[in-house]
Structure 1
Amino acid sequence: MKRAFAVLLAMTALFLTPLPAGAAGGFPAGFLWGVGVSGFQHEGHYPDSNWTRYLAQRKEKAPYRDSADFRHRYREDLERAASLGVDVFRTSVEWARIEPARGKIDWREVRYYDDLVARMVAHGMRPMLSLSHFAHPGWVHDQGAWKNARTVEDWLDFAEFVVRRYAEHDVLWVTFNEASYYILDEVRNKALRLSEAPLMSSRLVEAHRRAYDMIHRIDDDAMVTANVAYSTVLNPLFDRALLTEVPDKLDYLGLDYYLSMSAANLSVLRVFSGEYWTIEPEPDGLYHVLHDYHRRFPGLPIYIIENGASTDDGKPQADGYQRSDSLRDHAYWIHRAIQDGIDVIGYNHWSLLDGYEWGSYRPRFGLYTVNVETDPSLKRHPTEAVAAYRDLTRRNGLPPGYVPVKPPARCSLPALLSTCAALPATPPYPG
């Protein structure tokens, strides 16, 4: 028992965070506010891919339909994004769409991405482009995907095609979205045996390292990352899927944060059932997680690539906590981290629109609601968070005197010892 307790103390010490001092001032000049979508989740009309195959095989998953049809409504959706006052628009350039067969380029789809990127720039938004967001072409699936060494070469050919086409637009590049979950999804969908997960990881590491060098040959000033999703205190283990193997091949650290865990809040375990809307949010956990990554990757600026809140089919939360509350509360704790000296350079809200959450339309993350299953017109309905985000970007910060709606969590696992000893103070946001 004593040994187990000593091990627990040693683990929690890794995540020990000093209690924050009071903050002053707004967000730094040049801080990037953004919003995003992803190809498979929002575009609709998706070509043959690993995920179209999985949905054909897994009848328990909701039909894909055509999602929010971003593919044909991107012009108006980009106008919605620009009206938020954001600096960055994130999406993925889909390999399955551009190269439906090895060596065969679908130029109609290339022209779609050409216009998409050009319109982002015309609206004053910097493109953030992911080169892989869980989906790959059907022909890649047929050749064994990342179990096959050939896939590394094929993906690098695709990546170079995309980079050469859009590098002039000062793109923020993301090679692989959430590598640990990419691998996990391939295992869950029976495309990969658990014993083969290390092989896929090694191939993603090789592909990222070579892509980083390729991107910098084309554009020496490029900013490149591979974003990671924070899940639990086990993240140092999950990060080994890619992040910890490539620290010398990152220009910034991309972080996705939705949830955390504390002694009184184990609702995060419901993530395994996909009931994201039932998870009790802990916005202060982001503060502790930022400190953790800052310690583990000193010198790397951090960009929060995804953060948001889920509702159950768009219904209000039972406790009255709204998406606008979540948005402001997370911004409060980001500001506190910045005041502690952590170089946080940007924040993207996930997502602009409701989309397909890898098997279901029930979890809703959109600033704009889209009722895919019940509304053939796919009308975009603004949530209350639209006005909140506009106010945040206009001010480059929160209203003076703002205090988080959600109080700090007792015994937050990312900073267990410090938050069991005392809760972080929440002084009003300074004017």
Structure 2
Amino acid sequence: MSGRGHSPRTAPVLSALVLVAALFQALPAAAARPAIPPGFLWGVATSGFQSEGSFPDSNWTRYVARKATGVTDPYKDSVDFRHRYPQDIALAKGLGVKVFRTSLEWARIEPRRGVRDPRELAYYDDVVRRVRAAGMRPMLTLDHWVYPGWIADRGGWDDPRTGPDWLRNARFLVDRYKGQGVIWITFNEASQHLYHELRARPMSPAQLATMRDALLRTHRAAYDMIHRVDPGAPVTSNVAYGSVLNGLFDAALFNQITDKIDFIGVDYYYGANLENTTAVHSLTGEFWRIDPEPEGLYYVLRNYQRRLPRLPVYIVENGMPTDNGKARADGYTRADHLRDHVYWIQRAIADGVKVMGYNHWSLTDNYEWGSYRPRFGLYTVDVLKDPKLTRRPTDGVAAYRSIIANRGVPSGYVPKQRPGWCSVEDPVATCLARPPAPPAP
């Protein structure tokens, strides 16, 4: 809350709002119902550039080299997933998850146009093989914001040849991994891809529009191609939930492809309400200063389901950063964050939302697009100070393992983070009514 004064005319209104807020804050959280179905897809997520290390020439290695906007730390070799993936896949298996998400990096596979690197293909082949051998389903992202240096030399998505070249690479990969139970993601968070390119290249408004149109056309073509090559494989492009800016985030790609997705892939990290406006820290990249709003996930899931009732919903990414691995000042831990969000997923399922899966971002800490300071990992890794890149478990490891084993949080669980008043995610439901009550057991 700010320390600004208020005029006498606004004082009665503000007093009334404070009273209503106090009433809402006094409401006890309702008991969760054990509603996670047996076939629910628990997973972990990561991406190639952010975790692999030893990365070849690409748009992002160039952004890091010239310290583009937002880049503060050297890339080094990130957490070296490229050479430690057997151990990391084993860590994921130990959690009990059934989905392992990563990306197939075009820059690694095709370092020069028309020339594929057999060593890197063997690496990805082994990743997929080990994921499946560990009893997990691969969720493979074809584009997680990174493209080869030779594409950058041609102007990235400005060049009309990029879309066809992207599709040629995608067709090769889908054919290579077809029939292996893959869940395909075409473009990760198109809105954020556009945003990062706008900042890091940078781009003009005309270039931004050109890139958006190219992503749209390419996704639509990729969807049809994947269904021809790998029939029955689910396909989507996951959307970043953007709180007050969500309309713009959806407009980047999602609104135009709802007929070309098999499930709604949602990435939810934070929301906002009149008692919690800390989401403003996202504008400065200080994500660790944001106070989570777990109940916002409930409203986001419900709203997307209402918009597209025929499709199931998958939380493709959800997690909480800490500041360089330090404990939060408010005592809220990764375990609390996991349990609170799963509680609201259970509430959404109990209220009829067809939630098919949940991925925690991320398995380990990684390179967060210019910085190692935000730590999202279930296993924390100090890239800048620990040459051994030791994976150290956070309290989220035991919590997630227990959640998966017990199919959610127990009946009677009370979220540590209490619901705030008047959520941006659904003002109609939250500003004039109490939080949703679960159905009777």
TM over 0.5: yes
- Once the two structures are superposed, residues 376-429 of structure 1 have per-residue CA deviations (whole angstroms, 9 ceiling, x without a partner) of 000100001100000011111112321111000111111113212233157799
- Structure 1: which amino acid aligns with 2:93? A
Provide the C-alpha distance between the structure 1 equivalents of 2:388 and 2:304, rounded to a whole number of angstroms. Answer: 43
Provide the C-alpha distance between the structure 2 equivalents of 1:281 and 1:313, rounded to a whole number of angstroms. Answer: 17
Structure 1 residues 34-73: aligned runs within 5 Å: 34-58=43-67, 61-73=72-84
Question: How large is the RMSD of aligned CA atoms in angstroms?
Answer: 1.7
- Structure 2: which amino acid aligns with 1:49? S
- Once the two structures are superposed, residues 151-202 of structure 1 have per-residue CA deviations (whole angstroms, 9 ceiling, x without a partner) of 0000001101110111121100000000011011111013421332121111
**Aligned-pair distance for 1:318?**
0.4
> Secondary structure of the equivalent of 2:120?
helix
Q: Corresponding residue for 2:6?
A: none
Provide the C-alpha distance between the structure 2 equivalents of 1:419 and 1:426, rounded to a whole number of angstroms. Answer: 12
Provide the C-alpha distance between the structure 2 equivalents of 1:411 and 1:130, rounded to a whole number of angstroms. Answer: 35
**Aligned-pair distance for 1:26?**
2.9
- Once the two structures are superposed, residues 8-45 of structure 1 have per-residue CA deviations (whole angstroms, 9 ceiling, x without a partner) of xxxxxxxxxxxx99764330120000001100100001
CA gap 1:428/1:405 in 2 versus in 1, 3 angstroms:
farther
> Secondary structure of the equivalent of 2:93?
helix
- Structure 1: which amino acid aligns with 2:337? S
Structure 2 residue 278 is matched with structure 1 residue 262: no
- Once the two structures are superposed, residues 248-276 of structure 1 have per-residue CA deviations (whole angstroms, 9 ceiling, x without a partner) of 11001110000001112221111121111
Q: Corresponding residue for 1:363?
A: 374
Residue correspondences, number: 411
Taking only the aligned residue pairs, the percentage that are identical comes to 56
If the length of structure 1 is used for normalisation, what is the TM-score?
0.93
> Secondary structure of the equivalent of 1:373?
coil
Structure 1 residues 123-272: aligned runs within 5 Å: 123-272=134-283
- Once the two structures are superposed, residues 281-340 of structure 1 have per-residue CA deviations (whole angstroms, 9 ceiling, x without a partner) of 000000011111112222111100000011011111101000000000000001111111
Q: Corresponding residue for 2:114?
A: 103
> Secondary structure of the equivalent of 2:259?
helix
> Secondary structure of the equivalent of 2:291?
coil
**Quick one: which of 31, 35, 38 aligns to 1:29?**
38
Structure 2 residue 418 is matched with structure 1 residue 404: no
> Secondary structure of the equivalent of 1:413?
coil
> Secondary structure of the equivalent of 1:216?
helix
Provide the C-alpha distance between the structure 1 equivalents of 2:34 and 2:388, rounded to a whole number of angstroms. Answer: 44
Structure 2: unaligned runs, 5 residues or longer: 1-28
- Once the two structures are superposed, residues 88-135 of structure 1 have per-residue CA deviations (whole angstroms, 9 ceiling, x without a partner) of 000000000000010000010000000000000000000000000011
Provide the C-alpha distance between the structure 1 equivalents of 2:57 and 2:440, rounded to a whole number of angstroms. Answer: 49
Q: Corresponding residue for 1:286?
A: 297
Q: Corresponding residue for 1:313?
A: 324
Contact 2:33 2:346 (8 Å CA) reproduced:
no
> Secondary structure of the equivalent of 1:129?
strand
Structure 2 residue 339 is matched with structure 1 residue 328: yes
**Aligned-pair distance for 1:349?**
0.3
Structure 2 residue 341 is matched with structure 1 residue 337: no
